[in-house]
Structure 1
Amino acid sequence: MGALRAQEIAPPEDTTIYRVVEAMPRFPGCENLDTTEAVKAKCAEANLLAFFYENIVYPLEARQNGNEGTVVLSFVVEKDGYISQPKIIKDIGGGCGEEALRVARGMNEALKNAGLKWTPGRKDGRPVRVAYTLPLRFKLEEPPDFVLIGRDTVYVVLDDTLGYQGGWETLRQDLDANLKFPKGYSPDSCFIGNMDLKALIYPDGFVKVVDVSDYFNLGPDFQFEAIRAVTSTAGKWLPAHRNGRPVTASIDLGVTFLPEGESCAQRRTDYETAQRLALEGSTLINEEKQEEGIAKLTQAIELFPQNAQYRYLRGQAYVNLRELEKACEDFRVVRQV
């Protein structure tokens, strides 16, 4: 009999998931550096954290509840340079763990699109599967004391808020007394509607209007008169303070043009009815009663079809109900106004 040749038998594939190996896996981006393995490992760790922090969106629920802390993920770095089995080891609630997991699940696709992959871990010179644990810090940023509006530094965190000489009722009386119908517009013309104005109040009492919301689309002549009424209050303000010094702060003020002529009585009634319906509708929407709120706002819109405020509120309710076509129609009217 001829001699039997020993068959070459391939060693069985190693499917073990290791926790520690001679060469741990590394996230891409550092392999071409002319440096030590230890420096490459540090670089890869920094790149991995950057990948997560650039893609994580702090969950709204976590922001509202103040959830902060460390989420811990684990996953397996496979021999082919991609990851598998991502899961949450430690969570802090508020959707933070789920958000970190979402980013982990999208990692392979992101790397493939960039033409990158992990450098797999190695044991005895061969690539092996390695478990990887990653802590991720979730921390809410402290809100700034101020914002920039144009060239103005406007403080939003205040020790003492704005005041008005004589109190807020005096402010309302002053605004009503200063508000006039534009020249050429008789009160009998029945122009009616309200505006909201954002004003900056400087430490010396100077007033500057930086935004006007003309909900009834009354036009520039009425907007000018509204601005004039607000700026006429200059010198009567008590400044806001931050860290012991007076600072510029903002305030939202509303004015209403109401015609007094007898011929406009029905117009005034319609306005008061529409405002009441809009308030009731907004309250219902805030109570998660979207359809009932929409019904109230629709009645208000029937009285004033081009009112941007009513349309915006109803559009938001339609968004909540996922009726996006109806929402877009309302928002189109808002943009036109």
Structure 2
Amino acid sequence: MTSRTKKTERVVKRMIHTLFAMGLLVSLQAQTADTTVYVAVEEMPRFPGCEMLDTTAAVKAQCASQALLSFMYSNIRYPQQAQQEGIEGTVVLSFVVEPDSTISNLSVRKDIGGGCGVEAMRVASQMNNIGVRWSPGKKGGKSVRTQFNLPIRFKIEEPLPYNLVNGDTIYIQFDEALAFSGGPDSLSNYLNRRLRYPASVQDTCIVGQLEVDVLVHPNKTVRILNITDYNDLGFDFWYEAVAATTSTYGKWKPAVYEGRQVPASFTLNMAFTPDTESCQSTVDRYNKAMALANEGAQLFNDEKQEEGLAKMSEAVTMFPDDANLLILRGQAYLDMNRMEEACMDLSKARDITLLDWYDNLLPFICRPQEDTGANK
């Protein structure tokens, strides 16, 4: 063996020893990294916005607490279910502030029902997405994983009797509600006479539903606020729905609030089924699916969840692109905390209808579910 070869061999051996030592060091560092989630540390995490203050840590903590609550309360929307049921109280969230200033392991430690816990979670879960970076907890001068508990108070305020929607004042409280002349049966019969299945698609056997939200003014004029297409029926069906809706002009009894007539809205449900003999089997199958869905919903409400879910799933299998069915089953999955299935159904329904009902909730429903356990 030449001296050059021996020298090269010694260099290679030293490199191997160095690389081995470096790898061992990295391995040891990884093994000794502090992954403990601390409940109490010398310096607790702080919401951003107050770190530039030239003051004590206690004053910064008080400022950060106010900024955090301001962020939460300015983004929280009181759930409609909680308002209707008069639910008030305090939701407590728990999460971990990581050394990199993000939050993880978000969970509800205490809930009061009515969707309040989910709503608080929705707002808190947006922190990482919008770039909120906490000042992490400190132990021995080092940033560590720290558990943070956040109480959020839900208190119902006296609501206004109306909503403002795209510049329109729409009353939601009445002494006398908006009503069609002759009552609900008269409205149903009227729409059945007026609503026509589009001739251009008569042989397609398409079935489905539209919802038309109308605004009726005190002078009895009718204006369409929105059309929700649960089956992606398309323009021909929308045209017929608009024609039937606008023909109700002058046939309404306006809503009354505090002795005066006020503008109010009404939702018209319009079902389209072809009447040709060749499409009768499709219509029968559609009616069966709707009956299964209604039966499933009743079973679910009677606390027979699995039986009810099976009926809903049978209906969805028959009409997999019916957003009404997807929303019904998706809400059932959500109530059962089966987030992955709820995400699939509600996301698909969102794509079909373009409804924004679940937009604020979908990022939470569809996010990978984290392990919410914490080391003490």
On the 8 A contact 1:65/1:94 being kept in 2, the answer is: no
The alpha-carbon deviation at position 32 of structure 1 amounts to 7.5
Does residue 296 of structure 1 match 2:295? no
Q: Which amino acid aligns with 1:152?
A: D
Q: Deviations over 1:75-107 (max 9, x none)?
A: xxxxxxxxxxxxxxxxxx959xxx9xx9xxxxx
Aligned to 2:34: none
For structure 2, list consecutive stretches of 5 or more residues without a partner in the other structure: 1-49, 56-60, 91-110, 121-132, 138-151, 353-376
Number of aligned residues: 249
Please, what TM-score do these two structures have when normalized by structure 2?
0.56
Q: 1:323 to 1:206 in 2, by over 3 A?
A: same
Q: Deviations over 1:240-262 (max 9, x none)?
A: 01121111101111111121111
**CA distance in 1 between partners of 2:82 and 2:273 (Å):** 45
Pairing of 1:34-183 with structure 2 (within 5 A)? 55=72, 64-67=85-88, 113=134, 139-183=155-199
Aligned to 2:238: 223
CA RMSD in angstroms comes to 3.8
Q: Which amino acid aligns with 1:330?
A: D
Please, what TM-score do these two structures have when normalized by structure 1?
0.62
Aligned to 1:240: 255
Q: 1:240 to 1:184 in 2, by over 3 A?
A: same
Does residue 254 of structure 1 match 2:269? yes
**CA distance in 1 between partners of 2:112 and 2:310 (Å):** 34
Q: 1:262 to 1:154 in 2, by over 3 A?
A: same
Aligned to 1:25: none
Q: 1:58 to 1:271 in 2, by over 3 A?
A: closer
> Helix, strand or coil: the match of 2:200?
coil
Q: Which amino acid aligns with 2:166?
A: G
> Helix, strand or coil: the match of 2:201?
coil
**CA distance in 1 between partners of 2:220 and 2:199 (Å):** 28
> Helix, strand or coil: the match of 2:331?
helix
Aligned to 1:80: none
**CA distance in 2 between partners of 1:157 and 1:276 (Å):** 33
> Helix, strand or coil: the match of 1:272?
helix
Q: 1:324 to 1:263 in 2, by over 3 A?
A: same
> Helix, strand or coil: the match of 1:275?
helix
The alpha-carbon deviation at position 233 of structure 1 amounts to 0.5
The alpha-carbon deviation at position 311 of structure 1 amounts to 0.9
Query: Could you tell me the percent identity over the aligned residues?
Result: 36
On the 8 A contact 1:290/1:320 being kept in 2, the answer is: no
**CA distance in 2 between partners of 1:207 and 1:141 (Å):** 32
**CA distance in 2 between partners of 1:94 and 1:282 (Å):** 24
For structure 1, list consecutive stretches of 5 or more residues without a partner in the other structure: 1-27, 34-43, 70-92, 103-111, 117-135
Aligned to 2:342: 327
**CA distance in 2 between partners of 1:257 and 1:206 (Å):** 25
Aligned to 1:88: none
More helix per residue? 2
> Helix, strand or coil: the match of 1:184?
helix
Q: 1:247 to 1:263 in 2, by over 3 A?
A: same
On the 8 A contact 1:62/1:94 being kept in 2, the answer is: no
Q: 1:50 to 1:179 in 2, by over 3 A?
A: same
**CA distance in 2 between partners of 1:162 and 1:314 (Å):** 31
Does residue 202 of structure 1 match 2:217? yes
